[in-house]
A and B are shown apart, each in its own frame.
Chain A
């Protein structure tokens, strides 16, 4: 189905010309997505305006008549919010639907809006979790040691994030264009995707543990000289039981607090207060 559309040249057989979208139209839309779609973000409609702009190359081609164009522009100014990686699949899908509609198929405005709204939630949930939370954090974790040591290789963290999102987004928009709605939802819920997210989450948790050891520093200061003359150092004693228990405990404590709905800024302020007071009384 997709191949026919991608390679078709407009037929002029006396009847109405069929307007077809080509691969380069989709790619141009992909570029608009990557450059523009978030600039005008607002509370009322989030990325609505950005989405409309993203679709402008396609809508201009599909609707040469001003009336149709302005209707299309208006319906795509509606609220839209999703992950920049997989979200472009919805854009591709919308492009396909608009193409069919422009060529006379029975596709109502409500259908297009409905599909956008239905898919942006799951796609955001899945995409934000995989791309923004997990993969981006893993890339950062991998390259932070280089940056901290003063090596420019640390910048590769951003390069990796950039490449990852671009790859996901490029694949998604073309995929969305060629698949139907039901297939998209099916894919999002499919076993393979779940396995991928699970695997990435395992790695994510593991890397956070590695980072805890490297970067969360808590050293207890107190030590006592016993009557026998030997020195009892609190930190060494604790290390003898389980090294790293303090950084781990602190991190998991924050985790428990945040999971109950605590705000990150309170966690940060509390940590600072504990640290300052602790240093003051000579604990740290």
Chain B
């Protein structure tokens, strides 16, 4: 039981880091691969955590920022809950991906709450600016939010993980076979949505021809990912060269 408490606290901390909103920390802890690896480490199985994180990353590859920095899916909460639950209950990674979705939605609510309440610190800073008190402003913008986040991010996730793992294992065992099978299929299909989101964000419909080319090519030829990247890179250079020449002509 004590072990579980430590694990829950650790995973809560991972989510805390994911939403610390400090760019340097963010570059690492917003990535599903990193979250999976660290969660795996905490739970004593680095490799499985890493593998799960890698799989989750495909669905959550787009970094899920809509214009204006508004969150559309909280992939970090999804990973922080679904990966430990899956690892503890022996759930497969596809089913875990499906499980992660409701938490992705829950996390968006959490973030909206956060950003509404955070206005408090900015208003405090207004007063401190009038006094020219830079130390107080630094606390308003750094220390204050970081402390606040302990209650918004760290503790709730730690609680959910602590209570959730056993409960989730029981629920998982109760799910009928056909539904589990359906989840497995869903998990295989979900990455399509993440990839589609990237294509939308790239915002260049004409370039979809390269998408189609890549699918057909990789279906017929198996190749290491770096080789595929090189081919893509060459095509990119050619495309730019030819279109620039066409414009100059």
Q: Spell out A's residues near B (CB within 8 Å).
A: 33-46, 48-50, 52-53, 56, 59-60, 66-67, 69-70, 73-74, 77, 81, 84, 128-129, 132-134, 136-138, 140-152, 154-155, 157-158, 161-162, 165, 191, 195, 198-218, 242-244, 247-248, 250-255, 257-259, 263-265, 267-269, 271-272, 274-280, 284
Contact = CB atoms under 8 A, between A and B. Distances in A.
Give the one of B69, B141, B181 with max A CB within 10 A. Answer: B141
A274 B189 CA distance: 9
Contact of A38 (B21, B125, B126): B21
A137 B58 contact: no
Interface string B101-124: 100110000000001111101100
Contacts of B62: 133, 137
Contacts of A158: 27-28, 31, 33-34
Main secondary structure, interface of B, reads helix
B141 A39 contact: yes
9 contacts: A42-B122, A140-B61, A148-B55, A198-B243, A199-B236, A205-B202, A210-B214, A210-B225, A265-B73
A67 B200 CA distance: 48
Given A44-B119, A157-B31, A265-B104, A276 B199 contact: no
A145 B218 CA distance: 14
Which 10 pairs show the lowest CB-CB distances between chains A and B?
A: A209-B214, A147-B54, A276-B182, A217-B188, A206-B232, A275-B186, A254-B196, A42-B118, A73-B129, A244-B219
Given A132-B63, A133-B62, A201-B207, A41 B115 contact: yes
Given A129-B203, A202-B240, 18 more contacts: A35-B23, A38-B26, A42-B116, A49-B121, A147-B33, A152-B37, A155-B37, A158-B27, A202-B235, A205-B199, A213-B219, A216-B192, A251-B192, A263-B72, A265-B101, A267-B196, A280-B178, A280-B182
B236 A77 contact: no
B88 to A, nearest CB: 19
Contacts, number: 368
A217 B58 CA distance: 12
Nearest to A59: B134
A41 B121 CA distance: 9
Nearest to B214: A209
B214 to A, nearest CB: 2
A255 B216 contact: no
Interface string B214-249: 111111100001101101110111011001100000
A50 B145 CA distance: 11
For B27, B105, B231, the residue with the greatest tally of chain A CB atoms inside 10 Å of its CB is: B27
Given A49-B122, A133-B63, A199-B237, A215 B189 contact: no
Contacts of B141: 36, 39-40, 49-50, 52-53
Interface string B21-63: 1111011100101101100000000111011011101100111
B213 A206 contact: yes
Contact of A276 (B185, B213, B225): B185
A217 B125 CA distance: 51
